[in-house]
Chains A and B, each alone.
Chain A
Amino acid sequence: MFSKVLLVCAAGLSLLAGAYALTSSEPRADFSYVNSYGIHTLDPARMSWTNDFRIALNIWEGLTSWDPRTMEPIGAAAEFPPEVSADGLTYTFTIRSDARWSNGDPVTPRDFVRGWRRGLEPGTATDYTFLIADNVVGAADYVSWRRDAVAALTTLSRLRDGWDVDADQARALSKQPYLGEVQTAFDEVRDPSEPLDPSTDGEPLARRLNDADLDFERLYANAYAAHVAALDRKFAEVGIEASGDGTLTVRLANPCPFFLDLTGFPVFLPCHQSVDLLRLSAAGSPITEEGLVVYDPQWTKPDYRREGYPGLVTNGPYRLASWTFKRRARLTVNPHHRLASDITCRTVDMLVYENISASIMAYEAGDVEFLPGMNVPYEHEIARLAQTGERPDFHLCTVLATYFFNFNCADQTVQGRPNPFVDARVRRAFALAVDREAVVNNVLMRGDRVATSFVPPDSIPGYDPPDGLRHDDDEARRLIADAGFPNGTGLPAIELLYTPNDERVCQAVARMWEDTLGARVELRCKESKTFAEDKANRAYMIARANWYADYGDPTTFLDCLTTGNGNNDSGYANPAYDDLLTEARLTRDPAARAGLLRRAEAILVEQDLPILPMLHYVSPIAIKPYVKGVYPNPRLWFPFRFIEVTR
């Protein structure tokens, strides 16, 4: 029997050896850094995480880029500065004649049109569509036209396949003026004796559609064909135009003083023509059955080959040499890039350490040179080491970001009870009662900056945010009494919604509200997905929030609180505020524009308080002393081409 046991062990060992053959090793890169979360996506149209931006902006190059020391826009794939028309609405970019893709192809203006269109298309685009849609002429129209069509085609494809549709899906059919035949079919479905507004009455409409005896096969086919035929015609109305002489003309809807700051952003990156080989769609058509533009998601892999696809082609100073899922991505210099011979750091490794403490140990052991984030439970200790200079290789980067609380501004809670925060005096009282100094210095101790404004001060050149409200318990008590709740009597239990990471801050502020205002605070800590859902449904009175700037202009913060904005989680609506932002949008004089924005922000942080700014984040980073050319900056933008390792 023992020989049998040995046999089993031998089999186990050989299996082990086989499995081990699947792993490999390569020599160490010139420069290694840690990305604790891995890469979510390398598709520039889809990405929304700083960690992904970091890789993307090193392997691709937009029309402009930023100087990592000053964060001012600098030239990249296009000549800098571009030609701007007198009214500030037309930008003409000339693509550099020496701009090359990593396979040697010249970069053309059409590559930019392709990339930007991916940034607008439902199916490829996600979070940052608005950067194009809000600024480029016709882009917003195109996006909503496409979204409506996608919704209608989805519904029709479901009906065609014999599945029932729900109220939302049924409603989607009402927004399709060009689907003439669908409209006629609609009228047939309708019961004339019972008038029905399809834009609101989803339920009965869905019932009738599900029971209707219509030729959905034909309806769907016609609607699909009509939409496909209109696609390029409609896109031609968007103000992005490539010309044969190497220029890209962009027409803006409004003068946008920070447009050259935007054009370096991932959603504005170009896209090589080979990517179109991997478009997934219904046969012979550019879109799927649901009307989406979808690509084989594997197109971002350097070694992906299918139907002639050569693997990922990029145009930045680096190219992606290999990418192992959740382990490592290796970048090497793009030999065709115009700066290729000037770059000293030839290979860069992005290593994944899910456990941030382990990444710090790896840094201490010398396995990696750079940690772009150290969010660990002992952050305060890291902040202390950085602040006292005990560790000169630790730096605290002030980030363009604000941590704040949203007050639900609706007059009722979702449960239908009266919401005290509909009254601006209550919101102000709650804001005045918070001692942010204590939270920042005694509770968190991470070296964050106390925030009394939404826009971080001293971070955007030419803009000084208003002072905001300081801690004042007496004024807080007076206001809450004014609002009809003296010493908190009559105040319902205040629901404070947050995620597990906010535990300490929320306990501290809850205590301040209880002590100063006599409020009874119910702490509701939710896991982040459930939190997001509750927040979206406005099932809260006060909720934690944060906002990271997307570009270097105050509007990246202030636009969030305009009426009906998708990121306006507090449901705040003040026409005076909206008007000031609209006026600023049309103002070209920088000083006057900054004045208008400042007045708008003052409404937010001194008068209406739909949000309670708490702090502006700092992010601790660690750079080995023998590495030169990593510049701590508020956007955590670290272009590798400046790096020199002098080990």
Chain B
Amino acid sequence: MTRLIFRRLALGLVTIACVYTLTFVMVITIPGNPFQQGDRTMAPEVEQALHARYDMDNNWLYFWQFLKGAAHFDFGPTYTYNDWTCAQVIGSALPVSVMLGLLAILIAVAIGVPIGVLSATRQNTWIDVSGLLFVLMGVSVPVFVTGSVLLTTFAVWLHVAPVGGWGTLAHLPLPAFTLALPFAAYIARLTRTGMLDALSADFVRTALAKGVSSRRVAWRHALKVAFLPVLSYLGPATAQAMTGSFVVEKVFGVPGLGQHFVNAALNLDSGLLLGSVLVFSAILVALNLLVDVLYAWLDPRISEAV
């Protein structure tokens, strides 16, 4: 187990280093001046001095200085929001994204797994067909459509939820549910496939033959096996839900990290951009590691195989 963790950790660091280097190269090759905000032209002397102040006049220096700062979660100043540091911006947005992502994944599991199990146990009935329809909808309808529909229905017509923003419990359900739908659909499909396989396995037939009720067989025996592919999907899914919620954030006005990531790229806010890329990739690597470890913990055969 320890060996597995160390190996994954080392691999993860290499991944982050590659991502950082690639992003860095892209950041320095994009045309434009990050200090230029708005329409007016900046005095060239001041621009040079600012570049020098942040070591941006020398790419090598910038590359290492930024990395050195990043090790202490110091990503320098933002050029778009002068009064905040990148660390503050990321620090204020990260908990929001993490919370939204986690809640979305919990909702996705809570919806997706039962639908998958029911679809599999009632194969080819109307339940299965509706489950399939749900999967199709969830995967193919973009979140900005579901988000807008939910927003209009619950916030504007029924007045049971605020229109957007963040800060109270009432702000949570709509964006979390919207974000959860595509994941729920995918989880439902994975569960259904896994369940169909498991239900035709020998141990299920044995259990049924011993007189165990079919419901118990499905939920206690078959799901245990069928859940493993879902679990391995949960790692990348959680990371994706935490980091890829840009559209949902935009629709519901949620102050998460996704918007900063996109805006930083548009504004050439190099510190914020590199900072969020580092944080995003660290989350991805960490969650993948976590899933590997969990997997090994749940199914001890795995760690021996690795």
Complex CA distance for A48 and B42, rounded to whole angstroms: 13
Q: Beyond A5-B298, A16-B106, A367-B162: 13 further Cβ-contacts under 8 Å?
A: A12-B102, A12-B106, A46-B82, A150-B45, A158-B52, A168-B48, A290-B52, A326-B81, A358-B164, A358-B252, A361-B164, A532-B32, A533-B31
The answer to whether B163 and A297 have CB atoms under 8 Å apart is no
The answer to whether A40 and B167 have CB atoms under 8 Å apart is no
CB contacts (< 8 Å) of A529 on chain B: these are 30-32, 266-268
Interface residues of B in 32-58 (CB under 8 A from A): 32-33, 36-46, 48-50, 52-53, 57-58
CB contacts (< 8 Å) of A596 on chain B: these are none
The interface bits of chain A over 169-208 (1 if a CB of B lies within 8 angstroms of the residue's CB, else 0) are 1001000000000000000000000000000000000000
Complex CA distance for A196 and B163, rounded to whole angstroms: 66
Let me know if A496 is at the binding interface, CB within 8 A. no
- A527 interface neighbour in B38, B95, B266, Cβ under 8 Å: B266
The answer to whether B253 and A123 have CB atoms under 8 Å apart is no
Let me know if A300 is at the binding interface, CB within 8 A. yes
CB contacts (< 8 Å) of A353 on chain B: these are 164-165, 253
The answer to whether residues A39 and B156 also contact, given A19-B95, A529-B32, A532-B39 and a CB cut-off of 8 A, is no
Give 18 A-B contacts (CB < 8 Å), ordered by A residue. Answer: A15-B102, A19-B99, A25-B168, A41-B83, A169-B48, A290-B49, A290-B52, A292-B46, A297-B83, A325-B93, A353-B165, A355-B253, A364-B156, A365-B155, A367-B163, A527-B266, A530-B31, A567-B39
CB contacts (< 8 Å) of A361 on chain B: these are 151-152, 155-156, 163-164
The answer to whether A163 and B61 have CB atoms under 8 Å apart is yes
Highest count of chain A CB atoms <10 Å: which of B43, B220, B227: B43
CB contacts (< 8 Å) of A354 on chain B: these are 249-250, 253, 259
The answer to whether A48 and B45 have CB atoms under 8 Å apart is no
Tally of contact residues, A, Cβ under 8 A: 78
Complex CA distance for A354 and B52, rounded to whole angstroms: 33
Shortest CB distance B32–A (Å) = 4
CB contacts (< 8 Å) of B109 on chain A: these are 9
CB contacts (< 8 Å) of A367 on chain B: these are 162-163
Interface residues of A in 6-43 (CB under 8 A from B): 8-9, 12-13, 15-16, 19-20, 22-25, 38-43
Let me know if A345 is at the binding interface, CB within 8 A. no
The interface bits of chain B over 73-91 (1 if a CB of A lies within 8 angstroms of the residue's CB, else 0) are 0000100111111001100
Let me know if B98 is at the binding interface, CB within 8 A. yes
Let me know if A516 is at the binding interface, CB within 8 A. no
Shortest CB distance B27–A (Å) = 13
The answer to whether A325 and B255 have CB atoms under 8 Å apart is yes
Complex CA distance for A77 and B5, rounded to whole angstroms: 65
The interface bits of chain B over 97-119 (1 if a CB of A lies within 8 angstroms of the residue's CB, else 0) are 01100110110010000000000
Let me know if B233 is at the binding interface, CB within 8 A. no
Complex CA distance for A4 and B259, rounded to whole angstroms: 35
Let me know if B21 is at the binding interface, CB within 8 A. no
List the B residue with the shortest CB-CB distance to A166: B57
Complex CA distance for A65 and B43, rounded to whole angstroms: 29
CB contacts (< 8 Å) of A43 on chain B: these are 82-83
The answer to whether B255 and A326 have CB atoms under 8 Å apart is yes
Let me know if A614 is at the binding interface, CB within 8 A. no
- State the 5 A-B residue pairs at the shortest beta-carbon distance, nearest first: A151-B45, A41-B82, A529-B32, A19-B99, A147-B45
CB contacts (< 8 Å) of A122 on chain B: these are 43, 45-46, 49
CB contacts (< 8 Å) of B155 on chain A: these are 361, 365
Complex CA distance for A362 and B169, rounded to whole angstroms: 17
Let me know if B205 is at the binding interface, CB within 8 A. no
CB contacts (< 8 Å) of A530 on chain B: these are 31-32
Let me know if B203 is at the binding interface, CB within 8 A. no
The answer to whether B106 and A158 have CB atoms under 8 Å apart is no
- A147 interface neighbour in B43, B93, B102, Cβ under 8 Å: B43
CB contacts (< 8 Å) of B43 on chain A: these are 122, 147
Interface size class of chain B, counting residues whose CB lies under 8 Å from the partner chain:
35 or more
Complex CA distance for A4 and B38, rounded to whole angstroms: 54
The answer to whether A40 and B37 have CB atoms under 8 Å apart is yes
The answer to whether residues A148 and B167 also contact, given A20-B99, A157-B52, A533-B32 and a CB cut-off of 8 A, is no
Complex CA distance for A561 and B214, rounded to whole angstroms: 84
The answer to whether residues A25 and B167 also contact, given A12-B106, A122-B46, A358-B253 and a CB cut-off of 8 A, is yes
The answer to whether A567 and B166 have CB atoms under 8 Å apart is no
Let me know if A536 is at the binding interface, CB within 8 A. yes
List the A residue with the shortest CB-CB distance to B78: A297
The answer to whether B102 and A16 have CB atoms under 8 Å apart is yes
The interface bits of chain B over 131-162 (1 if a CB of A lies within 8 angstroms of the residue's CB, else 0) are 00000000000000000000110011001001
Complex CA distance for A127 and B40, rounded to whole angstroms: 6
The answer to whether A48 and B151 have CB atoms under 8 Å apart is no
The answer to whether B57 and A158 have CB atoms under 8 Å apart is yes
The answer to whether A126 and B84 have CB atoms under 8 Å apart is no
Interface residues of A in 107-152 (CB under 8 A from B): 122-123, 126-127, 147-148, 150-151
- A291 interface neighbour in B37, B49, B96, B164, Cβ under 8 Å: B49
- B163 interface neighbour in A49, A325, A365, Cβ under 8 Å: A365
CB contacts (< 8 Å) of B252 on chain A: these are 358
Let me know if A324 is at the binding interface, CB within 8 A. yes
Let me know if A327 is at the binding interface, CB within 8 A. yes
The answer to whether residues A327 and B48 also contact, given A292-B53, A527-B266 and a CB cut-off of 8 A, is no
Let me know if B297 is at the binding interface, CB within 8 A. yes
CB contacts (< 8 Å) of B224 on chain A: these are 1-2
Let me know if B251 is at the binding interface, CB within 8 A. yes
Let me know if B294 is at the binding interface, CB within 8 A. yes
Let me know if B92 is at the binding interface, CB within 8 A. yes
The answer to whether B48 and A154 have CB atoms under 8 Å apart is yes
CB contacts (< 8 Å) of B30 on chain A: these are 529
Complex CA distance for A352 and B156, rounded to whole angstroms: 18
The answer to whether residues A22 and B95 also contact, given A327-B166, A529-B266 and a CB cut-off of 8 A, is yes
The interface bits of chain A over 334-364 (1 if a CB of B lies within 8 angstroms of the residue's CB, else 0) are 0000000000000000011111001001101
The answer to whether B46 and A150 have CB atoms under 8 Å apart is yes
Complex CA distance for A158 and B58, rounded to whole angstroms: 10
Interface residues of B in 201-222 (CB under 8 A from A): 220
- B84 interface neighbour in A1, A2, A297, Cβ under 8 Å: A297
The interface bits of chain B over 215-245 (1 if a CB of A lies within 8 angstroms of the residue's CB, else 0) are 0000010001001000000000000000000
Let me know if A222 is at the binding interface, CB within 8 A. no
The answer to whether A123 and B48 have CB atoms under 8 Å apart is no
The answer to whether A172 and B266 have CB atoms under 8 Å apart is no
CB contacts (< 8 Å) of A154 on chain B: these are 45, 48-49, 52
- A40 interface neighbour in B41, B50, B82, B106, Cβ under 8 Å: B82
Shortest CB distance A540–B (Å) = 15
List the B residue with the shortest CB-CB distance to A148: B45
CB contacts (< 8 Å) of B92 on chain A: these are 324-326
Shortest CB distance A356–B (Å) = 10
Complex CA distance for A289 and B49, rounded to whole angstroms: 10
- B165 interface neighbour in A16, A168, A327, Cβ under 8 Å: A327
The answer to whether B83 and A300 have CB atoms under 8 Å apart is yes
Complex CA distance for A290 and B52, rounded to whole angstroms: 8
Let me know if A102 is at the binding interface, CB within 8 A. no
Highest count of chain A CB atoms <10 Å: which of B80, B96, B163, B297: B163
List the B residue with the shortest CB-CB distance to A47: B82
List the B residue with the shortest CB-CB distance to A536: B41
List the B residue with the shortest CB-CB distance to A299: B83
Shortest CB distance A22–B (Å) = 5
Let me know if A263 is at the binding interface, CB within 8 A. no
Complex CA distance for A4 and B300, rounded to whole angstroms: 13
Let me know if A288 is at the binding interface, CB within 8 A. yes
